[in-house]
Amino acid sequence: MPNIVRPPDIVEFQIFRSDVLVAPMGATGIPPVGVAPASQTVFYDTPQTRDVSYTQLSTGVGSSIGTPTNPATGFTITTATAVPGLTPGRPVTYSVVMIYRRVQTNTGTGSTTAGTGTTTGGTTGGGTTTAGTTIGATATATTGTTGTATGGATGGVVASVVYIQTPVTVTGVVTPLDPPVASSPQAGASVTPTGVTFDIQPSPGANQYMVELSSDPNFKSVKQILLPLQSASQAGSAISAPNVDLTKLFPGFTGTLWWHAGARNSNDRRWVYSGPESLALQ
């Protein structure tokens, strides 16, 4: 890949997912699960099946094509139908390639060499000599013809467009998750602040949970309770943060607090959250 690729030269980014191993209908080879323009820096994957239209180079990586006025012969737009969505709880890796264009010029060279003479001098006289007198035709000479062709013209400048696919860049393992459910205390419940138990319904594939609390429904400032690591295969049983003393987290506070549950796989960086629930301190 060149040191600098200007955004106007980027055709698209193609995002591949490791669990898509079979070419769906309409695809040649394994298709991307999504494409993104140069201006897009984040790609969001979903469980939904989708159709994906993407650029395929006509002759592979580094495909050279005609002139800039007719670039479309260097690639085709392929639409893969029914590309599967992600499966929550199943770890995958993503990889990204970039398709970009380059205009390059080539200068030709002359091809015609100078001509050369082809005719030699004429014949000598053909008469005989009798008693010292020369009888016969006087010798004549024909001058050889000088070459007249000059070298060919200098080759012209030819522009072409090269479409290039970068090497694959692979991400680490990521586990897509459904949000957990903040099941208790229920929304609007009144609680005694010195001993509150928070229950969370787990998200398959997650093994780390936390409770976030705030006096602001937008969670601009939060207190976090990180729970011990769980089994990622755990399902059904509630995960609890028991006997939380809210008077220590929010000294002197009265009124309504907001809480939600967070979940992630410990190999990932980001959390996914339940919807916010309110609780009133008694």
Please indicate, yes or no, if residue 234 is contained in any of the structural domains: yes
Same domain, 209 and 169: no
Domain coverage including residue 191:
181-281
Please indicate, yes or no, if residue 206 is contained in any of the structural domains: yes
The pLDDT score that the predictor gives to residue 28 is: 55
Please indicate, yes or no, if residue 28 is contained in any of the structural domains: yes
Same domain, 65 and 187: no
Please indicate, yes or no, if residue 125 is contained in any of the structural domains: no
Same domain, 161 and 248: no
- Which helix or strand (DSSP H or E) is residue 247 part of? helix 246-249
Same domain, 48 and 102: yes
The pLDDT score that the predictor gives to residue 159 is: 65
Same domain, 161 and 23: yes
The pLDDT score that the predictor gives to residue 22 is: 66
Same domain, 41 and 168: yes
The pLDDT score that the predictor gives to residue 128 is: 39
The pLDDT score that the predictor gives to residue 47 is: 94
Same domain, 270 and 169: no
- DSSP letters for 87-115: -TT--EEEEEEEEEEEEEEEE-----PPP
| Count: domains in the chain | 2
Same domain, 163 and 185: no
Same domain, 37 and 161: yes
Please enumerate in sequence order all residues whose Cβ is within 8 A of that of 273, keeping only pairs 6 or more positions apart, or say none.
179, 180, 212, 260, 261, 262, 263
Please indicate, yes or no, if residue 144 is contained in any of the structural domains: no
The pLDDT score that the predictor gives to residue 58 is: 66
Please enumerate in sequence order all residues whose Cβ is within 8 A of that of 144, keeping only pairs 6 or more positions apart, or say none.
117, 118, 119, 120, 121
The pLDDT score that the predictor gives to residue 279 is: 94
Average pLDDT by stretches of 10, the chain with 282 residues: 75 92 60 93 93 80 51 75 92 91 65 44 40 33 41 53 80 90 93 94 93 95 92 75 95 94 92 95 87
Sign of CA pseudo-dihedral 84, 86, 90, 95: positive
> CA angle, 221 as apex, 226 and 88 as ends, to 5°?
50
Same domain, 170 and 59: yes
Same domain, 170 and 261: no
Helix (H, G, I), strand (E, B) or coil at 74: helix
Please indicate, yes or no, if residue 142 is contained in any of the structural domains: no
Please indicate, yes or no, if residue 45 is contained in any of the structural domains: yes
**In this structure, what CATH number is given to the domain that contains residue 193?**
2.60.40.10
How crowded is residue 266: how many other Cβ atoms within 10 Å of its Cβ? 11
